[in-house]
Amino acid sequence: MKGIAYVINLSEFDNQKFINVYLETEHVNIPVIMYEYQNDKSLFDFCGKFFTNRVLKMTKTDYNTFYNIHTTTGYTFNPQEILIDNFDFVFPDGLTAREMLLLQYILGKRIKGKIAQYFWDDYLLDCDYTLKMLVKEGFLTTKDYLFNLEFATKPELQKAVKNDLPKKAQKSIYVDYIKQKLSEEELKTYFSGICYKLTPLGEETLKKCPDIHEFHNSYYRYAFDLSIDEYYYLRLINPNKHSSDLIHLLINDAKNVQPSIFTWRELNMELQEDLIEQVEPEIVRIEIPPIKEDKPSNIETLTFESILNKYQDTGGKMIKRISDEEFLNIVFRKPKNQEAAGNNKAPKAEETVNNPIEIPIPKVEEIEPVTIEKIEPSLDEIIPNNQAESEPEEVIIENKTESLFEPVKKEEIKFVPVNPEKLVKIEDIPLYEPFLLNFVISSIICIIIIVCYYLLVS
């Protein structure tokens, strides 16, 4: 329908994934559904069921989620159009059309009774959760004992009467007897939590669309795949029209809708083009001066323009072998053989101003690794004879790597030249008597201590 867009929001709460949807129009926004999906396939199945040939609106983040799932898994659905916009998703207040349909259906139904399967098959509505919500929010009640008395079964009535009436008595006799004989507290005890009943709030809410169950039972809903949410919207803006007129409007709109030609790839390309238009690239122009060559070069200068001029007469049809060969000559700067190189003359520096600059790439030969052996210098190498009497040179050791120790000052490490003739051998050092005397005294003391220890132990 024109003027209607389904606003979609993907969210995650307590490790559960949800898709939240509301219907956006010019006049009013109404909630549609909050559906918990288990995996990516169930998400796309849900969208394919309700949003085929419809206009969707979502943020760029949610669209990227859909697009990534589509490209990686192949899951897809075909909306009429997807509008990308930045907005804060706020779920509208009020009941959805599905919840109003359940509200009208459940009136007088027993709490432990079965609910129609079409609520899940056609609308993906979780009835157990929805009924608890309707009771909690005050749209339904299960504690109207007088209302429950009318829908109570005969065993439930006999339990309240006990043995006061015969078991074969009619149900109406049981009801009249209970109303006369039982107190209000006894009625609450026996006839609470049996059936659902609308509260005043529920009755007022249902007046917004009292014929919603009539739309559900309509044959045209199945035949033309009409949306219950769009019918609810038409009822809100046309409260006095008959339901058949509203259904007729939906049928005419469904007939005029063309099949979807939406493709995910085209939309993604449009988004990429918009992004490129928003970002204007900054073009930096660098002028390179001409290179003067001292020696003539033996490399032929070829350009794409020269190739096109050369094969212009062929009508745009170039020989594949020749064009590829010349292209490789440009890219890899493949020189001609020596005979062809000798016939060609290098262009002058003045002529190369307007021509593209060709810089030959030299061939890099592999260099064998060199092993450097660490050789300790001899004393003669460190101190030559002719420099023995000269002043010592300072040797600075620089360590470029980080160390845990403090850096060594330059002044602390010095190599002082030494005259080899003045070196003293270890054998020539005399053993002085004080040292010998101290050693003898220490040995005697140790022997005395050991003897005393053994005497005490024994």
Model confidence pLDDT, tens digit, residues 259-293:
888 888 877 777 666 555 554 455 545 555 555 54
What tokens appear for 60 in the block?
């760029």
DSSP secondary-structure letter at 139?
Answer: S
DSSP secondary structure, 367-387, as one string: ---------PPPHHHHS-GGG
Give the residue-averaged pLDDT of 218-232.
Answer: 93
Residue 441: the pLDDT is 85
Please list, residue by residue across 297-323, b when 16 or more beta carbons sit within 10 angstroms of its beta carbon and e when fewer do.
bebbbbeeeebeeebeeeeeeeeeeee
pLDDT tens track for 234-255: 999 999 999 999 999 999 988 8
Type of residue found at 380:
D
Residue 431 has pLDDT above 80, yes or no: no
Return the minimum-mean-pLDDT range out of 169-173, 222-226, 399-403: 399-403
> Is 449's pLDDT higher than 60?
yes
Q: Tokens standing for 111?
A: 């709490």
pLDDT band for 314, please (50, 70, 90 cuts): low
| 267 three-state secondary structure | helix
Is residue 412 pLDDT above 80, yes or no?
A: no
Mean pLDDT of 432-450: 79
Out of 51-55, 325-329, 387-391, the most confident range is 51-55
Q: Residue 345: helix, strand or coil by DSSP?
A: coil
The CATH code for residues 1-93+241-280 is 3.30.420
Q: Percent of the chain at pLDDT above 70? A: 64
Show the tokens assigned to 213.
């169950």
Q: What is the mean pLDDT of residues 3-9?
A: 94
Report the pLDDT value the prediction gives residue 415, as an integer from 0 to 100.
Answer: 47
pLDDT at position 41 over 90: yes
Closest-CA residue to 177 (of 190, 161, 153) = 161
Phi/psi at 371 (nearest 5 deg)?
A: -95, 125
Please, what sign has the CA dihedral across residues 34, 40, 45, 50? Answer: positive
What φ, ψ does residue 56 adopt, rounded to 5°?
A: -115, 155
Residue limits of CATH 3.30.420 in the chain: 1-93+241-280
pLDDT in tens, 132-143: 999 999 999 998
Which spans in 34-170 are helix H?
Answer: 40-50, 60-73, 97-105, 118-121, 127-136, 145-151, 154-161
pTM: 0.58
pLDDT of residue 257: 83
Q: Which of 169-183, 317-331, 388-402, 427-441 has the highest mean pLDDT?
A: 169-183
Q: Residue 10 in contact with residue 19, Cβ under 8 Å?
A: yes
Q: What is the pLDDT of residues 292-305, one digit of tens each?
A: 544 444 444 556 56
Residue of 44, 51, 36, 50 whose CA lies nearest to 70: 44
Residue 221, SS3 per DSSP: helix
Q: Which has more pLDDT, 176 or 372?
A: 176
What mean pLDDT is reported for the chain? 76
What pLDDT score does 438 carry?
A: 78
pLDDT at 364 over 90: no
In 3D, which of 78, 434, 24 has the Cα closest to residue 229?
Answer: 24
3-class secondary-structure state, position 56: strand
Judged by average pLDDT, the poorest of 94-98, 134-138, 315-319, 435-439 is 315-319
Element (H, E) at 197: strand 197-198
CB 80 within 8 A of CB 54: yes
What are the tens digits of pLDDT across the range 53-104?
Answer: 999 999 999 999 999 999 999 999 999 999 999 999 999 999 999 999 999 9
Least confident of 186-190, 249-253, 317-321: 317-321
Q: Please determine, for residue 38, whether its predicted confidence score (pLDDT) is greater than 80.
A: yes
124 burial via Cβ count (<10 Å: 0-12, 13-18, 19+): middle
- pLDDT at residue 451 greater than cutoff 80: yes
Answer positive or negative: Cα dihedral of 346, 350, 353, 354: negative
